[in-house]
Amino acid sequence: MSRASLFLALAFVGLAAQLAVLGIFLADSGLDLGEMGEQAVETDIALLTLTDLLLTAGIYLLWMPREAARAGIEKWWPYALAALGGVCFALPLFLSARERRLEAAPPIGAT
């Protein structure tokens, strides 16, 4: 299995995990955004997790466009939009595209 395929598989595992947790929340509470917000900051550990996630997402969104340009990926915005599905989906999805692009590039020094 190539690294690109592994990253793609991890992206879908991340998305499935996010959707499973969201499904459990929706089954328990319905689409109650107020309850979702309360649960996200209800305990110190929940707040720690939320802070880590938001900082990680910010770092990803700052790093990814420059890395996309460096790797030759012209359309970086779909990978930013993918972050709506979670950083655990968007980051490996982007890394998969980057690996495919780098595998297709000629070796350094080749003419």
**Cα separation, 91 vs 8, whole angstroms:** 10
pTM of the model: 0.85
**Cα separation, 104 vs 78, whole angstroms:** 20
Q: What is the pLDDT of residues 51-92, one digit of tens each?
A: 999 999 999 999 999 999 999 999 999 999 999 999 999 999
Q: Phi and psi dihedrals of 31, rounded to 5?
A: -85, 75
44-71 vs 33-41: helix crossing angle, rounded to 10: 100
Q: What is the pLDDT of residues 4-46, one digit of tens each?
A: 999 999 999 999 999 999 999 999 999 999 999 999 899 999 9
**Cα separation, 87 vs 50, whole angstroms:** 12
User: What does the pLDDT read at residue 107?
Assistant: 62
From the number of C-beta atoms within 10 Å of its C-beta (0-12, 13-18, 19+), residue 56 rates as: middle
